[in-house]
Chains A and B, each alone.
Chain A
Amino acid sequence: DAGVTQSPTHLIKTRGQHVTLRCSPISGHKSVSWYQQVLGQGPQFIFQYYEKEERGRGNFPDRFSARQFPNYSSELNVNALLLGDSALYLCASSHGRNTEAFFGQGTRLTVV
């Protein structure tokens, strides 16, 4: 079985540009969450979707948005990129809140 897949694996963008990151959850998982991990720190929560509805939002500016599609895959969009947005972006999927969560390999975003 395929695990959580994220694309692209690496990305370099210029300040002010827009970026879209993609995540495909494990088959059968309806919950997808996004996290940002800056070097040397633990991941920080950005968004959680369950059954295509937003169930939670972390302390991130409105430049960050996300959505979940009918097949439960998800996109994270970031507008007006800043140097500080450079990080590893992680996607996690699970059946629900009380079940084990599995993470993808992440997308390394570098903003120059």
Chain B
Amino acid sequence: KQEVTQIPAALSVPEGENLVLNCSFTDSAIYNLQWFRQDPGKGLTSLLLIQSSQREQTSGRLNASLDKSSGRSTLYIAASQPGDSATYLCAVINNYGQNFVFGPGTRLSVLP
């Protein structure tokens, strides 16, 4: 059974810092991995999709990497801003499944 974990559970940084969020999954037979952002009480906003054949994806200040063999993905946020404060979730789709398996999320606070 696929399990996804995220470290740290919460993170507080001053504005302008670069930071890394970590995601680990137990079964490397994944189809793809997607990072999402969730503001309190709201739905999920897609940030980046990495397909299993890819190593990384970039969008603006965000860069996500994928290492299937080690069961890890990282989300790098450059020059953090207070507007980046949210919960960040990673989710995988297994080769044998149709649905996302989510991690518990990392709650990020960027202080002005």
A binds B: yes
With A42-B4, A98-B31, A100-B34 already in contact, the answer to whether A56 and B43 are too (CB < 8 A) is no
With a cutoff of 8 Å between Cβ atoms, the chain B residues found around residue A99 in the complex are 49
Q: How far is the CB of B39 from chain A (nearest CB, A)?
A: 10
Structural contact, B46 and A90, CB atoms closer than 8 A: no
Contacting residue for A45 out of B32, B89, B101, B103, CB 8 A:
B101
Structural contact, A43 and B100, CB atoms closer than 8 A: yes
A48 within 8 A of B: yes
B18 within 8 A of A: no
Among the listed stretches B61-69, B74-82, B91-99, which one makes contact with chain A, having 4 or more residues with CB under 8 Å of it?
B91-99
B112 within 8 A of A: no
Structural contact, A55 and B100, CB atoms closer than 8 A: no
Structural contact, B46 and A103, CB atoms closer than 8 A: yes
Mask: chain B, 33-46; 1 = CB below 8 Å from A; 0 = not = 01010000111111
Structural contact, B44 and A103, CB atoms closer than 8 A: yes
Could you show 7 A-B contacts with beta carbons less than 8 Å apart? A43-B44, A45-B100, A56-B97, A90-B43, A99-B49, A103-B46, A106-B43
A58 within 8 A of B: yes
A50, B98: Cα distance in complex, Å:
10
Structural contact, B42 and A106, CB atoms closer than 8 A: yes
With A104-B43, A106-B43 already in contact, the answer to whether A35 and B49 are too (CB < 8 A) is no
A4, B42: Cα distance in complex, Å:
13
